[in-house]
Amino acid sequence: MASGFFAVLDDIGALMDDVAVSAKLAAKKTAGILGDDLAVNAEKSTGFLSSRELPVLWAITKGSLVNKLIIVPIALLLNVFFPVAIKIILVLGGIYLAYEGVEKIVEYLFHRSADHHQETTEVLQEDKDAEKIKVRSAITTDFILSIEIVIIALGSVLEESITLQIVTVSIIALLATIGVYGIVAIIVRMDDAGYRLIKRSNGKGALSVLGKLLVWSLPIVIKVLSVVGTIALILVSGGIFVHNIDFMHHLLPGIPSIIKEFGAGLVAGLLAVAFAMAVKKILKLFKRKA
């Protein structure tokens, strides 16, 4: 009886060792996409009143957890019964990410004005509907990025047992949500932490300098993350196309992969934006005729 109990403990210990090794490998392979995920979601979690930042971030985090609960079991099942569907889902998600990235560039270059920017900021801060729209957009983007993270993590343990696959992918999915949104929470609260340091130090000493640095640097960090997040959307989408479409994978082999991926994402995004604009114009014409 005792020997059987200790045998079970040995099996559990061996499984935990295997999980630790596979999770470490999967974490290394998903590090790049996690960095992109951080940049994108940090940019999407800003633009709200200070009192709404954490509630909005918590809403996005809960949505991200739900995304993982949906994606992980479906990815595991599809990998067993219909693996080609994973590539199709990835490519469709890549088109959405490319559209989001290029739409931001087009908006900045051709539809930007000081008055419009100010009006948009006020709406984002005061209009609950606009807040819900931005939260939904963030959760949708997280869904696509989560698919990429889960698929990469799953790909690193395809040769292992189904139990090890489930545990490893679940750990990476959970760490991705907690790690990414934990760091985002720290970023969006930098200014509040800075103000508190200034207040405690009465505006004097090293703490005051640190507080002022945090307050001063937050707008710069947000702007940098906005740019990096947009580039990340295009790069991630391009990476999805290059790695999952054979034609694009073998196209222009002499070009560095990062340039090819950015170019693929940019072209796909431009086509997606053009298609969306054409559809909007057609719908407007139908509405006028009606």
3-state SS, residue 103: helix
Q: State the pLDDT at residue 34.
A: 66
Phi-psi region of 188 (alpha: psi -120 to 50; beta: other; left: phi over 0): alpha
CA–CA separation, 236 vs 261, rounded Å? 8
pLDDT at 29 over 70: no
| pLDDT on residue 140 | 86
- Give pLDDT, residue 285: 84
Average pLDDT, the chain: 76
Q: Is the pLDDT of residue 43 over 70?
A: no
Q: Which amino acid is at 232?
A: A
**pLDDT, mean of residues 236-242:** 85
Angle between helices 50-81 and 162-188 (to 10 degrees): 160
Q: What is the pLDDT of residues 183-215, one digit of tens each?
A: 888 887 787 888 888 888 887 778 888 888 888
Mean pLDDT across 25-46: 63
CA dihedral 159, 71, 40, 249 (to 10 degrees): 50
Nearest to 239 by CA among 269, 275, 274, 263: 263
Rounded alpha-carbon distances, angstroms, from residue 193 to 198, 199, 202, 212, 258: 9, 10, 14, 10, 37
Name the range with the highest mean pLDDT among 76-90, 114-128, 253-267: 253-267
d(CA 230, CA 37): 11
Question: E strands within 139-236?
Answer: none
pLDDT digits (tens, 9 = 90+) for 157-170: 766 777 778 888 88
Residue 180 has pLDDT above 90, yes or no: no
Query: Environment class of residue 110 by beta-carbon count within 10 Å: exposed (0-12), middle (13-18) or buried (19+)?
Result: exposed
Range with lowest mean pLDDT among 25-29, 173-177, 277-281? 25-29
* Greatest extent of the chain over all pairs of C-alpha atoms, in Å: 82
